[in-house]
A and B are shown apart, each in its own frame.
Chain A
């Protein structure tokens, strides 16, 4: 009896102890919380209860690799976001044109940047010369289909969706009109960033990169080509690309930074099929917002970005040179186009990196 009681008591004690330590840890982390982490329960207003102020303004949207200005410490507001769905011919690789379907005439589509609590009026216009109806499913939206059904727009028509950004994070949006793999395969995707209250921590450079796999009728021949359903079903792409075009981040299109600066990449993966193993050769990610969410991992070499997912990666560039961005499933990088470059200029510190004998 006595023994048993003791065991019970001990168990109790342990339980209490562990509860206390969990509490301690919670307190500790909340004390040490960096900007961008979720505020503590006490001062956290649920996004749904955040009141917007002022009249609706037209939000700035940008094409890759650029991103709109950070939200900073502004309060929740009303925004109008204009997107137009189009079906256009554009170069996918040297001498080869492809019939892309787009949001705002670019692949990936325009980058949308809001903060939690913001109220967005999304106006989706389908170009009058479109062949097909289009719509938008935003992974940042809470509600049926992410808005797909509500935004379905026939050629020449406009649909409007109102939503409140409830969860901070980096989210993919895409067209979900039938057949979905074809709409995505043709380039109908982009990113929407919902910053937490107070904004993400400041960095020196921000860029927008989105990977996609492309399936074409006639690869490597000059002329115009289009979506190949058989290859898509087999998941055998001809191209795996950053920002919808071979060489979109190479040569004069390289993204840039200076030694000592912090760089933040908003990286998305439109798919439709492949998962990306995103890596920057010669760099280590100081911070990775895993899958575009709120959990931050540190000192990461390669991060997985699922189709229809994202990641925010941050690193300080310490040494000049050209840093190669790849999907580390390397055949895609070297044979199918998933390659780009970050050019870092500035003074070399031999302590960090130095070639040659001592």
Chain B
């Protein structure tokens, strides 16, 4: 190679590097970094749920039961400790670098810094103040996904003794009692009895994100019963109305789901992960 060519090549490389050097400064989160998720290992036991037919509390189409295929679900919610390991492996999901489009300003609100749990928080308490986007990223990094709303509600039908306790008189009341306890989210996971499936803390610690929480049109104003809304606002009129008007606990849960947006982070809202049975490789 002629020296002139050599110098030119060098120059061009220099120019290029100067260019690329500018870029991460301009967009501190480049596409590549954002898109990839560093894997983490979790040790939580997953419970096999055989699935089956169930009647959705809200959103049943023409009052038809919905078939829920078999799936695996974490026996408990994701803990503070686990979320710490997730943000350790995934800097873009840390408190200081998360995008506002992915979480509001309360994200991990009480964490003093990026890799530090709140001073008085128990590592084995469920993580809260996490957005749907963050929950989804966590699940991905663990090789899992978020449960669907139907999967979650399928499990929620159970009490300690039966897989479907909805018709029991005490079912809704007992849940409301649990919902109403202030500060329940600070307690460690798995301290109360599991339900029929061996799943813990379905009601007594936190609200939980589901993958398709945004599939419930809206009962922010529950009195319209969906009817008017559907005619005015939505396709497929009549697709949404509550199936059990006395199930106040479910009204609360669905009310919560319709009140949140995916970037919201909330004091008593966390998540657990699920997985398809087919790609059941790790346990």
Contact = CB atoms under 8 A, between A and B. Distances in A.
Q: Do chains A and B touch in the complex (CB under 8 A)?
A: yes
B53 interface: no
Contacts of A133: 220, 255-256, 258-260
B222 A155 contact: no
A179 B266 contact: no
Contact of A156 (B218, B252, B267): B267
A179 B246 CA distance: 9
A137 B268 CA distance: 25
Contact of B179 (A131, A144, A149, A153): A131
Interface string A147-179: 011001111110000000000000000001111
B22 interface: no
Interface string A100-139: 0000000000000000000000000000110111010100
Interface in B181-233: 182-183, 218-224
A78 B267 CA distance: 33
B268 A180 contact: no
A157 B264 contact: yes
Contacts of A129: 182-183, 267
Interface in B222-263: 222-224, 246, 248, 251-252, 254-256, 258-260
A117 B220 CA distance: 28
A156 B180 contact: no
B266 A154 contact: yes
B258 A156 contact: no
Query: Could you tell me the dominant secondary structure of chain A's interface residues?
Result: loop
Interface size class of B (residues with CB under 8 A): 20 to 34
A229 interface: yes
A145 B224 contact: yes
Contacts of A226: 180
B106 A178 contact: no
Nearest to A176: B221
Contacts of A155: 266-269
A338 interface: no
Contacts of B276: none
B144 to A, nearest CB: 25
Given A133-B259, A154-B260, A148 B221 contact: yes
9 contacts: A129-B183, A129-B267, A137-B221, A149-B221, A152-B259, A156-B266, A157-B264, A180-B223, A233-B246
